[in-house]
Structure 1
Amino acid sequence: MKKFLLLLVMTVTVMSGFAQKSAAVLLGHVEDENGQPVAFATLRFLPSDSSSKAVAEKIADQSGDFIIDLPVGNRYYLIATGASFTPTKKWVQISDSAMTITLFKKTEELEAVTVKAKVPLVTRKIDRVVLNVQDNALVAGKNSMEIMEMAPGMFVDRNGGISINGNTGVRVMVDGVMLQLSGDDLTAYLNNLQAADIKSIEVIAHPSAEYDAQGSGGIINIILKKQRTAGLSGSVNTGYSIGRYPGNDQGLQLNYHNNKLTLTGNYSHYQNKAFNDIHQSRTFPENGLYTASNLIINRYNGQSVRLGATYDISKGQYIALGYNGSFNHSSSVTHSISSIDYPASPADNFSSDGHFTDQKARNLNNFTFNYHLDTDSSGSNLEIMGDYTATHNNSSSLAISQDLDAAGLPLSDSSFRYSMPNQAKILTADIKYMKVFTPTTKLHIGGKYTGTQIDHINQFTRVLDNSWTEDPDRYYQFHYRENILAGFMTLETKVLQTEVQLGLRGEYTKTKGSLDAAVSSVNKNDYFNLFPTIFFKKDLNEKGSNYLSLSYNKRIERPYYSDLNPYVSYLDNYTIETGNPNLKPQFADNYELGLTLDNKYNFSVGYTQFKDEISQITHINQDTALVEITRGNTGSTKRYSATLSIPIQVTKWWRTNNTLQFRYEDIKTSGFAIKQPLYYLQTAQDFKLAKTWSANLSAFYLNHAIEGNIFVGNISKVDIGIEKKLLDGNLKIRAGVTDLFLGRKITADIKYDDNLIHLTQARQSRMFKLSLTYNFRRGKSFKAKKIESSSEDAQSRLQ
């Protein structure tokens, strides 16, 4: 391990000393078609016409003149823009000669202000698919979790689990910062992140070595809206939704920019009430039949705060500080009615009537530090990042139930309470260096440290002799410590019209889990793994709009922290869920071959193999007759897939994007083995009805889903939305209906120990949503810098 890190340090030192191409102090002038200077024009020099990140940027002075230094002989794609002018886009060769750029005035300036080209709902880049959320009526009143289902290949299961192309273990970033959350905590955070705050969602199915290896399913990057106006700017929004129960959300965003200082602030709040009706039936010991109905009412109340400050120390050098706070409270009341019938002996029948009340308070405080330095004029830069996350979760559960005999007379009462305070602290430090040799040849290197501390207490009391009494046999404390040291190296270049990206990441992990209970235990695990990544992109035409791509990467899925905790949670009177402190990581190898035409039509085939897969284990405890659900390294899966994406411009006012995916699952676990095909169809329709009116329709159909040992029947969803713009587009009114035909009602079978549980579930999925957003701004244009963080895989595993 020391040799591996030493190699990285030596590489950084050597690369920083490499000689650059000689730089030219390029003199330039921007003028209009009549030869008059264009004041304050913006010039961006990009490495390619498909790139979004500029190598260099410059704003011309009042006389249209500019000075910029770039390596002589390099070729760049130039985008020059100016107020009231049509952008000029062209390839330029850097030389010692002065450069003159001509901009042409817009012929219909008024129309250009009021009628803007609408960005397609789905766009495709080399390494990711982008869902453009902004200005789409379909997102009216939705949260980020609901919006994700609109992205090609993405699916959100009944418990909030996210998958890309069928692969679970997806990690979520916000503006490039990985969330240190998972499970219920992640769901609560994403439910609190509203559409009014989101610009786009990036789906990265195969991350490079630069990203943490954690996450076998890929990465989702949520890009928040950013104001780019000097002075004061921002927006306010409010929304209302109604299904069986109502909900509402509100938000405020403020931005201030003056000289070298940029300040940003965001506050959002949501409140919601929903239902979740679950009915199940299964066999029971001694030829019995168990049936149960769990009628659940959920309430959610959440707030989030995001603050950021950026200070430009000098040109190409800045420091940024950020704060992210999320404060959520949820509660659920479950009325569980269960019965056990013995057809051969009706007198032995009995039933149970229980009420389960759960309260969960989740608070997250996250602080980030980011230092950025451009080390040369060609785009090379150094990033130093630090991140500290502290969470405090306090969960409690109250269960009151009564058993009844065949005649409905009381047999026994049972009352107990759980109290489960939980604290987590995560510290990360990250350093990255990118050396740009040419616009097509770059070297990325870096290292990272992540330290995690989890402390959990479980307190249990029950009613004995008409008083609440602690049960020392069920009291325990669980302490988890994890340290990860990582280094990576990625090389990008272009050879024979083929883009090549080769990467290698090494991660050393050391863990210790301590259980202090009636029977104490300590589990330690140390391991080191290498994670290679390979990417090829072969252009098939001169523009690079048609290309073949080939990728491979290896990923790891470490257990969620909560799954390592030996907790016990009652789902109903006869079903419990427990943790497993002996869980080990699972690994995945991902392969994909793709063909893209005209930068939008895409066909790909993929293969993923999981080893030591963490899968759900369900069995009956013969002594207690309880169904026990836990997780173990008992599974392996081979997944074959083929995906076809076709966007079509049907008319000038009608655009559609369609994705069809076929998957073949070969799953083996200790409890079952299955080989089965799956079909997934997504479609999105955008309609431009008038200058200020637009409408959208989004739908998907899945013939069935497999979640561990849960086999879900067909699922579908149809959403519709409409938008009206007022006040020159600054006021937007959106209305929509989600799950119009109630296709998200679930029918499922759970297989275990040669037994079967049949399950149906109905949630508050059909809702009418209305939202209003007003944007205000004052001042000149500026570009807000992204506040990055070193937080990555640890965030995504917190419960």
Structure 2
Amino acid sequence: MTLKTRCLLVLLFLSSISFAQSSGAAKPDFTLIILTETGQAAEGATVKLIKDDKPVKSAIADARGAARFDIIPAGSYLFSATYTGYKPQLSRAYKFPGHNYADTIKLQPLNTALQEVNIVAHAPLVQQKDGKTILNVDASVTNTGSTVLEVLEKSPGVSVDRNGGISLQGKAGVMVMIDDKQTYLSGADLNNLLSSMSSSQVSQIELITNPTAKYDASGNAGIINIKTKKNKQKGFNGTFTSSVGQGVYPKNNNSLVVNFRTGKINTFFSYSMNLVQYLTNIYALRKYYDAGNNITAKLDQPSYFSGTSFNNTVKTGLDYAVTDKTTIGVVLGGTLVNRNGNNRSVATWLNTSDVVDSAISTTNHNKNRFKNGSVNLNLRHTLSASQTLGADVDYLHYNIQSEQNFNNSLLAPGGYQELSRSNIPTTISILSGKVDYSIKTDQYGTFQSGYKSSYSSTDNAALYENLNSGLWAEDYSKSNQFLYKENINAVYGTFEKKYAKITAQAGLRYEYTSYKAHQLGNILQPDSAFKRNYGGFFPSGFISYQADSSHSFTLTAGRRIDRPIFQNLNPFYFIINKYTYQTGNPYLLPQYSWNFELSHQYKNLLTTTLLYSNIKNYFSQLFLNDAAKGILLYSQGNVGSTHNYGLSSTLSVSPVNWWSLTFQALYNHKQLKGFNGNTYTSQADQLNINTNNQFTIAKIYTAELSGFYTTRARNDIQEQLYPTGQLSLGISRPILKKRATLKFSARDIFYTNAMEGLTQFPNATEYFKLTRDTRVFTLAFTYRFGKSYKVANRSDGSAGDEKDRVGNG
């Protein structure tokens, strides 16, 4: 069966779903239509149901201006409607149950434009919306001056390991997106990118554990979508933020976001510049064993990494409303990161009596350059009152350059000195396009479908040289060049329907992947090539039951995939240090997972969720031991399967009017089974606790005390992580007539946020502890300027689903 035939069959199947509608859909208790003075729908208007001068429920007006309310208890109520740029309006009184099922409110514009923007909104830290957990970054004072990676580390349900791997709800394999686009990065490169991004650039972080079929199927644990700040208001307006921090070394973050909208044109521009001095200390103690499990040797390896990271990011674009129904846009973006470091370590070999056998000192000066440019063209067209069409074309290009200079010296009389260097350039080009169609089948049903195609090309070279007799000579046993090309085609459809108290959605996505890899040979290594084609169906859906105005239950399910990143397919060596190498596995297969969640929500106060996931062809690090040379080799393999059982609970409450508390606890029980020379069976019980306390002091100051703690954990079959956590505090207040905000934060005040654990190799173990410059005191200043009215969202493009799969160059 050809790819075109498969896609056609899937489209026919999904199209048939949209017409399988029930005529017995129940109506909501009341629908309020919100219009502007010209009769246009006030999409995004906030409507509140009020009883005895207190809000009972709220709803957001949809594209037709309709705000729907279900299960309204008997009584007399008012409705209030607010919409930026318009006067707030209060409705007449309504009695329920009654004979009215709908009404219309027409808003009146404000008489004058808003003057200098001086309103400071206090969004909740955590929100649950449309199957997503939304974290409002600015709502936490202790995020001041931190990087995006540091914000993720202390986010509820998120953990980051020492290799930069990100887990969500105790599950590895997360697809990271920025503004609905994948980063196309993973491992060290993703870690470096998120470490170079300031939290001042980010408005929200979306945690999506069971994405719908509209999203790419990548990411077994789900999606983390980082939403950067964008002004969405009329007029000229903007925000400037600058912060200075001091840990062991200083840090400085600056960002500017401006927007101008008038008539049919909307332009936007953002720029950020971050200069950070970093520090990482790693201690590792490796023990080697014989067949009788007796220690034969030890390798003591303290390492010290320091350097600077200078990041510049720019994004600009224009939206033009060709007609009332058609908008076209272009978005340009670029990132430049320069990272220079000096690393030093001493590897000391000890015998069984801890007597020094030999010691080798290693110094390494490294330079890393990361360049990225992107172009997005987008179109949004309203076909009718119930149908919309969207199209995006994206082109992205990455240029990653890594240079390292090693000096290994034997610390002994008559010792030797080994000099080597490497140059590892990587270029990545991605072209993608997608089309999305949506139709309101009736007042309570929506069908969506679309098609996406992406093509990526990667060229990864590695040149290793050794200094012999004063001359540099290429090391052909390590040098290589790896070419990788991949094409993914996908088609999807989803149908959502409301039946009385029940809302249900069913979706199906089909993806077909084709890749070719070519390992170029040299005078020592033979040329090799391999390719693979595979396809799969990825169903997803949910069913939600609104028991009453306080209680709701939701069951979600979905199948997902993680494809190997190209670096993990490259079979040649990447040097970590003299005794540790990393290599790829050309036989690595995709891993697949089924994810299930059953959740209960009580008002906006308490959410409790039961979790289960099963992963087959589980990705795990393989640790191979060359005892003769004392070298450990890191690789990846499909080692077996995992079962992850979980229970999470999130509480948001205000014990008193000046104190708000958000608390989350996540418990996981993991069962990991696999084979790596021996059969491994591992079990782990882990608990992650995250809390945020916010206090209002004298109606001016906002103070915060927050922290997290994680018990012993396990992400890999052979690696156990020890407990870790941190405690942070901060305070902020408005200044300059509320046009500006001043914030101070102290992060990881007890310096406890270390990454510590034990790794088990064949015939060896390694204890490790990694500490970074995490105790930082930061002062930040934010200034808001301009005049503004609310406008609609702009497009974020089609290339949102491939970036996460590029490894470190």
Q: 1:364 and 2:388 equivalent?
A: no
- 1:263 and 1:17, CA in 2 relative to 1: closer, same or farther beyond 3 A? farther
Provide Cα deviations, 1:616-642, integer angstroms capped at 9, x if missing partner: 011211332211111111132111000
Q: Distance in 2 between matches of 1:681 and 1:583?
A: 35
Give yes or no for contact 2:648–2:665 (8 Å, CA) kept in 1.
Answer: yes
Q: Distance in 2 between matches of 1:344 and 1:99?
A: 85
Post-superposition offset of 1:446: 0.8
Q: Distance in 2 between matches of 1:719 and 1:231?
A: 38
Q: Distance in 1 between matches of 2:169 and 2:702?
A: 30
Q: Distance in 1 between matches of 2:666 and 2:189?
A: 30
Matching residue of 1:565: 570
Counterpart among 618, 621, 628 of residue 623 in structure 1? 628
Q: Distance in 2 between matches of 1:702 and 1:687?
A: 25
Counterpart among 693, 698, 704 of residue 696 in structure 1? 704
> Amino acid of the residue matched to residue 647 of structure 2?
A
Q: Distance in 2 between matches of 1:454 and 1:341?
A: 43
Q: Extract unaligned runs of 5+ from structure 1.
A: 32-36, 59-76
Matching residue of 1:155: 159
Matching residue of 1:182: 186
Alignment RMSD = 3.3
Instruction: Give the 3-state SS of the residue equivalent to 1:279 in structure 2.
Output: strand
Instruction: Give the 3-state SS of the residue equivalent to 1:582 in structure 2.
Output: coil
Counterpart among 214, 218, 225 of residue 214 in structure 1? 218
Q: Distance in 1 between matches of 2:174 and 2:303?
A: 29
Q: 1:798 and 2:806 equivalent?
A: yes
Matching residue of 1:34: none
1:502-517 to 2 correspondence within 5 Å?
502-517=506-521
Post-superposition offset of 1:186: 2.0
- 1:343 and 1:721, CA in 2 relative to 1: closer, same or farther beyond 3 A? same
Q: 1:386 and 2:393 equivalent?
A: yes
Post-superposition offset of 1:11: 7.3
> Amino acid of the residue matched to residue 6 of structure 1?
L
Q: Distance in 1 between matches of 2:90 and 2:763?
A: 68
Matching residue of 1:234: 238
> Amino acid of the residue matched to residue 232 of structure 1?
F
Q: Distance in 2 between matches of 1:584 and 1:97?
A: 55
> Amino acid of the residue matched to residue 318 of structure 1?
T
Q: 1:291 and 2:296 equivalent?
A: no
Give yes or no for contact 2:604–2:652 (8 Å, CA) kept in 1.
Answer: no
Provide Cα deviations, 1:162-217, integer angstroms capped at 9, x if missing partner: 21101122122223233222222222322333222222211111101110001111
Q: 1:602 and 2:607 equivalent?
A: yes
Matching residue of 1:67: none
Q: 1:729 and 2:733 equivalent?
A: no
Q: Distance in 2 between matches of 1:199 and 1:771?
A: 16
- 1:190 and 1:28, CA in 2 relative to 1: closer, same or farther beyond 3 A? closer
1:299-698 to 2 correspondence within 5 Å?
299-343=308-352, 349-378=357-386, 380-404=387-411, 408-517=412-521, 518-541=525-548, 543=549, 545-671=550-676, 672-698=680-706
Q: Distance in 2 between matches of 1:17 and 1:393?
A: 49
Give yes or no for contact 2:392–2:798 (8 Å, CA) kept in 1.
Answer: yes
Provide Cα deviations, 1:3-26, integer angstroms capped at 9, x if missing partner: 33224555798999999x9xxxx9
Provide Cα deviations, 1:766-793, integer angstroms capped at 9, x if missing partner: 1111111111113x51414322211133
Instruction: Give the 3-state SS of the residue equivalent to 1:201 in structure 2.
Output: strand
Post-superposition offset of 1:29: 10
Provide Cα deviations, 1:508-563, integer angstroms capped at 9, x if missing partner: 1111111012222111111111111121101111x4x4211111101100112222
Post-superposition offset of 1:361: 0.6
Provide Cα deviations, 1:732-762, integer angstroms capped at 9, x if missing partner: 1111011111121232111111421111222
- 1:225 and 1:117, CA in 2 relative to 1: closer, same or farther beyond 3 A? closer
> Amino acid of the residue matched to residue 556 of structure 1?
I
Give yes or no for contact 2:419–2:466 (8 Å, CA) kept in 1.
Answer: yes
> Amino acid of the residue matched to residue 400 of structure 2?
N
Q: Distance in 2 between matches of 1:515 and 1:89?
A: 70
Q: Distance in 1 between matches of 2:34 and 2:297?
A: 87
- 1:350 and 1:116, CA in 2 relative to 1: closer, same or farther beyond 3 A? closer
Matching residue of 1:65: none
> Normalising to structure 2: TM-score of the pair?
0.87
- 1:130 and 1:392, CA in 2 relative to 1: closer, same or farther beyond 3 A? same
Q: Distance in 2 between matches of 1:461 and 1:335?
A: 20
Instruction: Give the 3-state SS of the residue equivalent to 1:148 in structure 2.
Output: helix
Q: Distance in 1 between matches of 2:354 and 2:170?
A: 46
Q: Work out the number of aligned pairs and report it.
A: 758
> Amino acid of the residue matched to residue 352 of structure 1?
I
Q: Distance in 2 between matches of 1:499 and 1:172?
A: 28
Post-superposition offset of 1:137: 1.6
Post-superposition offset of 1:83: 5.7
Instruction: Give the 3-state SS of the residue equivalent to 2:200 in structure 1.
Output: helix
Give yes or no for contact 2:437–2:448 (8 Å, CA) kept in 1.
Answer: yes
Give yes or no for contact 2:620–2:638 (8 Å, CA) kept in 1.
Answer: yes
Q: Distance in 2 between matches of 1:282 and 1:140?
A: 38
> Normalising to structure 1: TM-score of the pair?
0.88
Counterpart among 268, 271, 277 of residue 267 in structure 1? 271
Identity level (%): 24
Post-superposition offset of 1:293: 0.9
Matching residue of 2:76: none
